[in-house]
Amino acid sequence: MDDLKNIFSLFDTEYITEYKTSWLKVKLSFSSNLLDVAQMLQKNGLRTISTISPTDFIDENKIEMNYFFEDLVTKRNCWLKCDIPRELKHCKIESLSNLFKGALWHEREAYSMFGVKFLNHPDLRPIILSQDYYNKFPFRKDFDWQEHEKNSVENMNLIVESFQEEEHLSENKLDPNSSEMILNWGPTHPASGPIRLKVHCDGEDILGIDPDIGFVWRALEHLVTQKDFVGAIVAVERLCFMDNINSMVCYAQAVEEIAEIEITEFAKWMRVLLGEVGRISSHMMGMGGFYNAMGLHTVAMWNMDMRELFLDFLESYSGARIATASVEAGGVRYGLAPEMLEELQKALDKFDATKEDIKNIFINNPTMKMRAAKLGILTQDEVQEYALCGVVARASGVKTDIRIDEPYAAYDQIELEYVTQKGGSAKDRLFQLFEEIEQSVSIIKQAKKHIEQKIEEGEFNPTKDYMVKMPKKLPKGEAIARVEWARGEVLMHLVTQEKAKSPYRLKMKAPSFNHTMMVEHLLKGETLSDIPLVFGSLYICQGDLDR
Amino acid sequence: MLKIFDFFAHSKSESVWMAHFCTGCCSLEMAAAMGPRYDWERYGYLPTPSPRQADVLVITGLITKKVLPALLRTYQQMPEPKYVLALGACSFDGGPYNDSLAVVKNPTEILPADVFVAGCPPTPEAIISGLEQIKQKIKDGIPSAASEGGLYKEMKF
Residues B16-51 have pLDDT tens digits of 888 888 888 888 888 889 889 998 888 888 888 888
Contact B102 A194 (CB under 8 A): no
Q: What is the pTM of this model?
A: 0.91
pLDDT value for A352 = 92
Distances, alpha carbon A328 to alpha carbons A236, A263, A316, in Å: 10, 11, 18
B59 three-class SS:
strand
DSSP secondary structure letters along B97-123: GTT-TTB-S-HHHHS--SEEE-SSSPP
Cβ–Cβ contact A366 with B under 8 A: no
Contact B20 A235 (CB under 8 A): no
φ, ψ for residue A82, nearest 5 deg: -160, 155
Helix H or strand E encompassing A203:
none
Cβ–Cβ contact A145 with B under 8 A: yes
Bridge partners of A465, per DSSP, are none
- Give the mutation candidate from A112, A212, A218 for the B interface (greatest B CB count, under 10 A): A218
- Share the mean pLDDT of chain B: 86
pLDDT 10s digits, A209-265 = 988 888 888 888 888 988 888 888 888 888 888 888 999 999 999 999 998 888 888
Split into its structural domains, chain B has a count of 1
Contact A214 B66 (CB under 8 A): yes
Domain of residue B61: give its range.
Answer: 2-154
Please, where are the H alpha helices in A115-244? Answer: 145-150, 152-173, 220-223, 232-237
The secondary structure of residue A171, as a DSSP letter, is H
CATH of the domain at B8: 3.40.50.12280
Query: Where does A29-120 show beta strands of DSSP type E?
Result: 48-57, 62-70, 77-85, 92-94, 117-119
- B124's CB contacts (< 8 A; 6+ apart) are B29, B30, B32, B33, B35, B37, B38, B40
Using a CB–CB cut-off of 8 Å, the residues of B that contact A are: 19-25, 28-29, 31-32, 34-37, 47, 49, 51, 62, 64-70, 74, 96-97, 99-103, 120-121, 123, 155-157
Q: Residue B5 above 70 pLDDT?
A: no
The residue ranges of chain A whose pLDDT is under 50 are none
Contact A160 B36 (CB under 8 A): no
DSSP secondary structure letters along A268-308: HHHHHHHHHHHHHHHHHHHHHHHHHHHT--HHHHHHHHHHH
Cβ–Cβ contact A184 with B under 8 A: no
Contact A241 B28 (CB under 8 A): yes
Which residues on chain A are in Cβ contact (under 8 Å) with B64? Answer: 130, 214-218
Cβ–Cβ contact A157 with B under 8 A: yes
Distance CA A477, CA A494 (A): 8
Query: What residue ranges define each of the domains in chain A, with the CATH number in brackets?
Result: 2-124 (3.30.460.80), 220-546 (1.10.645.10)
Cβ–Cβ contact A315 with B under 8 A: no
The answer to whether the beta carbons of residues A284 and A347 sit under 8 Å apart is: no
A63 three-class SS:
strand
pLDDT value for B1 = 54
Give which of A403, A392, A393 is closest to A246, Cα–Cα. A403
Which amino acid would we find at residue B154? Answer: E
The secondary structure of residue B40, as a DSSP letter, is G
pLDDT value for A443 = 92
Cβ–Cβ contact A189 with B under 8 A: yes
pLDDT value for B109 = 86
| Residue A33: Cβ within 10 Å count | 17
Closest approach of chain B CAs to the CA of A398, in angstroms? 31
